[in-house]
Amino acid sequence: MRNQRAFSATFRVLMAAAFSIILAATVLLLFAEDFRSALWQFFVEPFSSRYFFGNYIADTVPLIISGIGVSIAFRSKNFNLGGEGQIYAGALAGGVLALHAPEAFGPGTVWILVAFIGAFIGAIIGTISGLLKAYWRISEMISSYLISAIIINISDFFITGPLQDSTSNFQTTAQIPSVFLLPRIFSPSKLDISIWLALFLVLFFHILSKKSKMGFELRVCGENEEFARYCGISVRAYNIAAMAISGGMYGLSGALLVIGPQGRVMRGFSSGLGWSAISVALLAQGRETAILPAALFIAFLKAGSDHVMIGSGVPSEIISMLQATAMLFITAQVMPKLWQRQRQ
């Protein structure tokens, strides 16, 4: 009976995915100049060369890392909507460190420091929302979103002000020294070694959630707060921890982007990533292992539509609408289930 239910949940998600793909095809039919080549660009091109495929996989890395953080927070019924700002702040902190680190440190140390500082900054920002919720019952959704809006503006100020690269025409910081960039593993694409970290984190959080006391207590908190109190679990501590973890993962993925594919902190480079990570977590329905296929699917939607946009002249607004509608399908399938669970 239990398997049957898990199957039907998976089936619904697959249905949603199929729907969004059918929708994509229909829209392409309406707007593309050449429907057949647009179809090819959407479905096949992302896989057609080492370069495209590598870039597609590289795009999944931040989705996996941020998505796993959001997913862990979901487990305890905490919704971190501040991903946009947390990614940005983590990226900026990591970027500044990489720009100013002395060469003597060696690349390995710098990578670890950058990853650490990015995660740390993200976690601090997440923790603020966690504290606000734990001590003043301020909704973590609203506080994380608003704090993120502030952080984005502050970061913009630094990038376009004190940290602006005066030799560049873009609003960006200076280029990070190439020794400090993560080595690429699938040339000529931008895919770098951070994919290994992403896979490790999925495994790590999967084991943490299934086997550890902390994961167990986190699940109990998310399931029923009053029951958690009855068992003597500090709901407050887990509210804070969940927000810190998801904030930390967001910050980490931002920092890795900067020393990876991006190579510098451009204004607004992470725009939309925070929301995509939430989609990934929603799609995975709180199962850590499902984060991988979910991230692959969301990144595929983006990669496919980017190819169509460039190749077939479909306006980017149409593409954005397409992505939004696909997300609507998926959330419409997933949210009722989450609500049902909450009601019980």
For residue 228, the surrounding DSSP H or E stretch is helix 225-230
206 near another protein (CB under 8 A) = no
175 near another protein (CB under 8 A) = no
Q: Which of 211, 268, 336, 339 binds another protein (CB under 8 A)?
A: 211
317 near another protein (CB under 8 A) = no
- Min. distance of Cβ 10 from another protein in angstroms? 17
Q: 242 or 314: whose CB is closer to another protein?
A: 242
CA 61, chain centre distance (Å): 8
164 near another protein (CB under 8 A) = no
Taking CB atoms within 8 Å and a gap of at least 24, the contacts of 195-203 are 195/57, 195/58, 195/61, 197/65, 197/115, 197/256, 198/60, 198/61, 198/64, 198/65, 199/64, 199/292, 201/64, 201/65, 201/68, 201/249, 202/64, 202/68, 202/288, 202/289, 202/291, 202/292
135 near another protein (CB under 8 A) = no
40 near another protein (CB under 8 A) = no
- Min. distance of Cβ 11 from another protein in angstroms? 19
Stretch touching another protein by CB under 8 A, among 60-68, 170-178, 221-229, 263-271 = 221-229
Task: Determine the Cα–Cα distance for residues 296 and 284; give it in Å rounded to an integer.
Answer: 11
Task: Determine the Cα–Cα distance for residues 16 and 309; give it in Å rounded to an integer.
Answer: 23
Task: Determine the Cα–Cα distance for residues 166 and 290; give it in Å rounded to an integer.
Answer: 44
Q: CA nearest 9: which of 336, 342, 343, 344?
A: 336
311 and 41 Cβ atoms separated by less than 8 Å? yes
Q: 100 or 213: whose CB is closer to another protein?
A: 213
Total residues at the site for another protein (CB under 8 A)? 19
- Min. distance of Cβ 78 from another protein in angstroms? 16
- Min. distance of Cβ 1 from another protein in angstroms? 8
Q: 115 or 284: whose CB is closer to another protein?
A: 284
Residues in 225-284 that interact with another protein by CB under 8 A: 226-227, 229-232
Q: Which of 8, 49, 212, 320 binds another protein (CB under 8 A)?
A: 212
338 near another protein (CB under 8 A) = no
Half-sphere exposure of 86 (CA within 13 A, CB side): 38
288 near another protein (CB under 8 A) = no
* Beta bridge pairs of residue 266: 172
Q: Which of 63, 73, 220, 235 binds another protein (CB under 8 A)?
A: 220
Supply φ then ψ for residue 102, to 5 degrees: -70, 145
Task: Determine the Cα–Cα distance for residues 290 and 70; give it in Å rounded to an integer.
Answer: 13
- Min. distance of Cβ 161 from another protein in angstroms? 46
Q: How far apart are the first and last CA of the chain?
A: 18
> Using CB under 8 A as the criterion, which residues of the chain lie in contact with another protein when the complex forms?
2, 211-214, 216-217, 219-220, 223-224, 226-227, 229-232, 341, 344
